Amino acid sequence: MAREDRTVLDDGHPLFITEHQLTDSAGQTHILQTSKMRLDWFGEPALLVVSVDISEQVNARRQIARLSFYDSVTNLANRTLFMDHVRQAIQNLRREGRWGGLAIMDLDDFKTLNDIHGHGFGDTVIRHVAQHLALHVPDGTLIGRLGGDEFGLLLPATRDTAGEAADDHRNTLNNLLNTLAEPVLLGGQTLRLHATAGLVLFPDPQGCDADTLLRYADTALFHAKQALRGQVCLFQPRMAHEVSFRVGMEQAVCRALTHKEFVCFFQPKVSIPDGRIIGAEMLARWQDPDKGLIPPDTFIPVLEATGLIEDMSYQLLDQALAQLASWKREGLWPAQGRLAINISPRQFGSPDFAENILNRLAQHRLSGDDLELEVTESILIRDMRETVDTMNVLRAQGIRFAIDDFGTGYSSLAYLKRLPVRMLKIDRSFVRDMEHDPNDAAIVATIIAMADHLNMEVVAEGVETREQLDLLRQQKCTAYQGYLFSAPVDAPHMTHLLQDIAQLPPSAESS
């Protein structure tokens, strides 16, 4: 008899065992919850034992706990667990007086891989990277998946001075990036995976907490992506103000969305043969009450990073459609003219994208013939079947699609043949130098000729000089946008432009 059983019999105190294991005759292990108590059995002391098999409940609880702290794709620590370890490491190293490293590693062009091959293939790449890191990091390194294609590395302290520690951690990260870039066969594809890393040393004299350190590492990563893509960037104190700026920008764009500070600007689309306005593109601007007009390259990346880009896009779409309806009522909008709207990848990938577009057209009493949706090449090739299905639903209602910035992405006749696209927009980078660069001039001419053979229209973006316009006219390009005619303007100014064009005689020619 077990000692605990004898104790229950002798003392008469019941015993409750919350969790223990028992292996049955078949070798299967069960998790039991057991109660033991003394009772009298025909005048003799006896032991009553009641056991309940709680294996399923315990395993479910453990699985839930694991999902709370580990990434389901890689089985690495998730952000929550990783940051807990960072906090503990900060305390330990402050006592020891040594320098650890916190790094964020981000795959270059991972979104493109996802768009081309699908999310299943993307998960395969993420798992490979996780396995690669586990094989090549120094002992004592904690690896975490922070989200998407971002990995966190908590590098152990190896040196007593900051300079020596920086060299060690940089060498470790460079080795990881170099070995990761070696060719690898994944899902039938031979890939060279490239990554960039931001590194910050800790603890620092200012006593930064874990969240601040992570922002510093992220800022270093941002710098690396801008200037040292594929390399390691060590955080410098001068970068600290950028962290505050980025956090402030995130808060500011949230406020701007709530207060409807994002406004529509319009750039006319102009016919090259007769100089008339034949439509317009809506462009986003931020009318900040203190700073004035803020250009999109400042706030669009912040909206994308915070996941607010879709909210802003639909808010501006409503504004733009309301304005278009007003121009049509006043008789100012050109016959058969379309308003072009840029569509973000997040918008296009939403399951209710087509429904949202059609509902908004109906709310403003507009038809699909009034609208053109501009998409980038990377959106179009992400999932060809789903892309074509979505586009066909909208095309059936009269909506037309244009490929924006054509020639800068994955231009391919193969996908152009399959997609219901009616217009190509030549990227401004080719138009800007076509007067002086024969290669750019040849690219522009090729795009125009190809579009003609595919029965597509072409719009040249970024036309700023009369010489550029003359070259485009010679190459039979039919329409353009650019500062030569008008910069993007607000709705009242666009109204004046429409009024001025409406007063031109029918035979007016572009001079």
The pLDDT-based confidence of 281 (bands split at 50, 70, 90) is: very high
Question: In the chain, where are the structural domains located?
Answer: 3-60, 74-235, 247-502
Q: What is the CATH number assigned to the segment(s) 74-235?
A: 3.30.70.270
> What's the confidence (pLDDT) of residue 382?
60
Q: Which of 296, 180, 301, 287 is nearest to 250 (CA)?
A: 301
456 vs 117 pLDDT, higher one: 456
Give this prediction's pTM.
0.63
| DSSP β-bridge partners for residue 280 | 268, 339
- Is the pLDDT assigned to residue 511 strictly greater than 60? no
pLDDT tens across 75-105, in order?
999 998 999 999 999 988 888 878 999 999 9
What is the CATH T-level fold of the domain 247-502, as seen in this structure?
Answer: TIM Barrel (3.20.20)
- Is the pLDDT assigned to residue 375 strictly greater than 70? yes
Cβ atoms of 304 and 346 closer than 8 Å = yes
What is the percent of the chain with per-residue pLDDT over 90, rounded to a whole number? Answer: 49
> What's the confidence (pLDDT) of residue 64?
64
Separation of alpha carbons 262 and 256, rounded Å: 7
Rounded to 10 degrees, what is the CA torsion of 66, 67, 73, 75?
-20
pLDDT tens across 152-172, in order?
999 998 787 888 999 999 999
394 vs 118 pLDDT, higher one: 394
- Compute the mean pLDDT over every residue in the chain, rounded to the nearest whole number: 87
The pLDDT-based confidence of 297 (bands split at 50, 70, 90) is: confident
> What's the confidence (pLDDT) of residue 65?
66
> What's the confidence (pLDDT) of residue 161?
86
pLDDT tens across 170-227, in order?
999 999 999 999 998 888 878 889 999 999 999 875 667 899 899 899 989 988 887 6
Which long-range CB contacts under 8 A does 254-257 form with residues at least 24 apart?
A: 254/306, 254/308, 256/286, 256/288, 256/299, 257/308, 257/311, 257/312, 257/315
The pLDDT-based confidence of 508 (bands split at 50, 70, 90) is: very low
The average pLDDT across 424-443 equals 89
The pLDDT-based confidence of 504 (bands split at 50, 70, 90) is: low
Separation of alpha carbons 42 and 45, rounded Å: 8
Q: What is the CATH number assigned to the segment(s) 3-60?
A: 3.30.450.20
> What's the confidence (pLDDT) of residue 95?
81
> What's the confidence (pLDDT) of residue 510?
43
